[in-house]
Amino acid sequence: MPFTAVFSLTYQPNDKSNQCLNVFTTEIFTPTSGEQDEETAMSTQYDEIIVGAGIAGIVAGLLHVRQGKKVALVDSAESAGGLMRTYITPEGKHFDYGTHLLSELGIADLDKLLFECVRNDSWHEFDYLKSGHFIHKTLCERSPVVDATILKEADYLRAMVELVEATANPRDGYDTLSQQLTKCFGDTLYQELLKPAVEKLFFASADDLATNSHLLYGLARVQGFSEQTTRILKQLPKLNDVLAFHSHKEGNGAIKRYYPKQGGIGQWVDHLLSQFCEHGGKLYLNCKITGMSVHEQKVTSLHTDAGELYCQKLTWTIAPFMLLQSTNLHALLPEFAANQLNFLDSWLVHLEVDRAPLTSLHYYNNFDPQYAHFRSTLYSNMQGETENGAHRVTVEAFSKHADTTQISATDILQELIDCGVFPQESQLTYHHVDRISRSFPVPTVAFRQQQQVQVNCIRENLKNVSLYGKARGDIFFMNDVILDIYQSLT
């Protein structure tokens, strides 16, 4: 009888570099009787198997093991954390996979579980984040919310009148994002500011995008009027929905934010994974799922290259199409929904620059279609310059998955210079470019319909499967994903 190889993983954070050492120990079973087969199965029998070791999977796993369940966390990647990882160069430079400052959730026991490990002298604590945006060739440093006052005077005055009129005549039920933004903000704000921004970021026409897609990029509101007038107008619910305060300091409440004084945000992932393993959780990394067994509409086991993993329940936190394929449910889907959903690729451009930034912002979003990059995180404005006097920055950009055009570090630095973020004479002292496949959705109307059919198919045909995070497809912000999981599991 052929042997079965069962891989288990011991998680050990590397204190020196904050990278995890994924130590695999392999036990070889050569079954010669039914009793040994049963013993092998028992060693890989779990109450919960969670697929996807990003933050959604880690938080779900941590909540389950604290309830005394036997839990396995499975991911095909070589390291856990998803986009909350930190890239560490051979020279010891730290770069995050995007802008990821931690923010409390406002639930005491959940905040204690997730953030007690960062409430110490090794982490910065912020009452607010210095965040801004770039639009119409202007770097706006007071708020990440689009500032309408940068428009030409005649356009601005017309835009403010249209905004008030739009909220005075609200309409429910929009078919597309273009309809929604026009009716909620007025035609001028839509044409001059919002439409160019969403079409840049999604690589799709606003006429094709689904409603509320703009929320994924923080475009829920705009700045307008004077500060005092804004405070008065925001007392009206309809205007409060579309009008923002003028400063990132205002309206944030008492929520604390955290970032390490040294290293990257991956340290937080290390803390959570250590808790998961200390409570008996098993972590399977670099583990490929090749199929599943289903009995009476329940997933009973995962076929993986690490062996057979048996489960009572399955939690799925990655794109749903792989689950449909692994269970052959994709054969039940109508033709339009029987394909992978459309996602963009993310580019992470890690730079070290020899000059200090010209702005004190922690991060900013670039909504101007003239530039390729979207968000930039300026580490030295939070942590100070590096030992060699250089300044680190991670820049995020997007591209279509099939696009073969390369994004270069020198081009991105020139964009940062042109946007007034770094001095003209700035030079690179280090750079690394990483492309992450299918990381962000293109939420067209067709995408939403396709997504809903796939999710419904899973829920109707698999009775012991829970969907969170990317698997749901309608919740993308990290704190919203965490709250969804917490409310479901407690």
The answer to whether residues 474 and 308 touch, using CB atoms and an 8 Å cutoff, is: no
Would you state the pLDDT for residue 36? 37
Token digits of residue 439: 């990381």
Two tokens at 317? 């936190």
Q: At what angle do helices 478-489 and 108-115 cross, to 10 degrees?
A: 120
Residue 311 shares a structural domain with residue 347: no
Bigger pLDDT: 255 or 245? 245
Tell me the C-alpha distance between 322 and 486, whole Å. Answer: 25
Is residue 116 in a domain? Answer: no
DSSP 8-state symbol, 204 = S
Share the mean pLDDT of the chain.
88
DSSP code, position 194 = I
Judge if 473 and 462 occupy the same domain: yes
My answer on whether 209 and 176 are in the same domain is yes
Residues 222, 157 share a domain: yes
The helix/strand/coil state of 328 is coil
- Band of pLDDT at residue 33, cut at 50, 70 and 90: very low
Q: What is the CATH number of the domain that holds 453?
A: 3.50.50.60
Confidence at residue 35, expressed as pLDDT on a 0 to 100 scale: 41
- Are 195 and 208 within one domain? yes
Phi, psi of 310 (to 5 degrees): -100, 145
Assess whether 312 and 455 both reside in one domain.
yes
Please indicate, yes or no, if residue 338 is contained in any of the structural domains.
no
Residue at 248 is within a domain: no
What is the rounded CA–CA span in Å between residue 283 and residue 317? 15
For the chain, the domain total comes to 3
pLDDT at 4: 31
Percent of the chain, pLDDT > 70?
Answer: 90
Structure confidence at residue 38 as a pLDDT band (50, 70, 90): low
Q: Are residues 45 and 59 in the same domain?
A: yes
Least confident window among 1-15, 67-81, 465-479: 1-15
pLDDT mean over 305-315: 95
Q: Are 139 and 419 in contact, with CB atoms under 8 Å apart?
A: yes
Query: What confidence score (pLDDT) does residue 342 get?
Result: 81
Angle at which helix 177-185 crosses helix 153-168, to 10 degrees, equals 100
pLDDT of 402 reads: 84
pLDDT of residue 169: 80
Identify the helix (H) or strand (E) that includes residue 232.
Answer: helix 227-233
* Residue whose tokens read 């941590």: 62
Q: pLDDT class for 310, splitting at 50, 70, 90?
A: very high
pLDDT value at 43 more than 60: yes
405 and 429 in a single domain? The answer is yes
In a domain, 435, yes or no: yes
Instruction: Give me the mean pLDDT over the 233-250 stretch.
Output: 91
The answer to whether position 484 is within a domain reads: yes
**What is the reported pTM?**
0.88
Residue 366 lies in a domain: yes
66 band by pLDDT with thresholds 50, 70 and 90 = very high
pLDDT at 253 over 50: yes
Residue 8 resides in a domain = yes
Do 20 and 79 reside in the same domain of the chain? yes
* Structural domain containing residue 165: 145-240
Residue 18 or 199, more confident: 199
Is 257 contained in some domain? no
Q: Is 253 exposed, middle or buried (0-12, 13-18, 19+ CB in 10 A)?
A: exposed
pLDDT at 300 over 80: yes
For residue 30, the model assigns a pLDDT of 27
Query: What pLDDT does residue 39 have?
Result: 52
Q: Is the dihedral of CA 417, 361, 384, 262 positive or negative?
A: negative
For range 398-405, the mean pLDDT:
90
**What pLDDT, on a 0 to 100 scale, did the predictor assign at position 56?**
96
User: What number is the average pLDDT over the span 350-376?
Assistant: 96
Task: Please tell me the least confidently modeled range out of 199-213, 249-263, 425-439.
Answer: 249-263
- Where among 240, 274, 302 does a domain terminate? 240
Q: How far apart are CA 382 and CA 374, in angstroms?
A: 20
Per-residue pLDDT band for 274 (boundaries 50, 70, 90) equals: very high
Whether residues 9 and 78 fall in one domain: yes
* Cβ contacts of 463 within 8 Å, gap of 6 or more: 297, 298
Q: What CATH number should be reported for the domain holding residue 415?
A: 3.90.660.20
Which residues, in sequence order, are bridge partners of residue 343?
A: 441
Q: Which of 240, 275, 299 is the last residue of a domain?
A: 240
SS3 110: helix
- Domain match, 323 and 461 both: yes
Per-residue pLDDT band for 11 (boundaries 50, 70, 90) equals very low
CA distance 208 to 369: 18
> End-to-end CA distance of the chain, in Å?
44
* pLDDT level of residue 9 (50, 70, 90 thresholds): very low
Residue 14 has pLDDT above 90, yes or no: no
Residue 339, pLDDT above cutoff 80: no
Any idea of the CA torsion for 373, 100, 317, 200, to the nearest 10 degrees?
A: -20
| Position 19 pLDDT exceeds 70 | no
More confident residue, 158 or 36: 158
Q: In this structure, are residues 208 and 444 in contact, taking their beta carbons and an 8 Å threshold?
A: yes
Give the C-alpha separation, 35 to 29, whole Å.
12
Give all strands (DSSP E) within 307-405, no chain letters.
307-316, 343-353, 363-366, 373-378, 391-399
Q: Are residues 228 and 371 in the same domain?
A: no
- pLDDT tens profile 131-186: 999 999 999 999 999 999 999 999 999 999 999 999 888 777 899 999 999 999 99
Decide if 155 contacts 375 (C-beta within 8 A): no
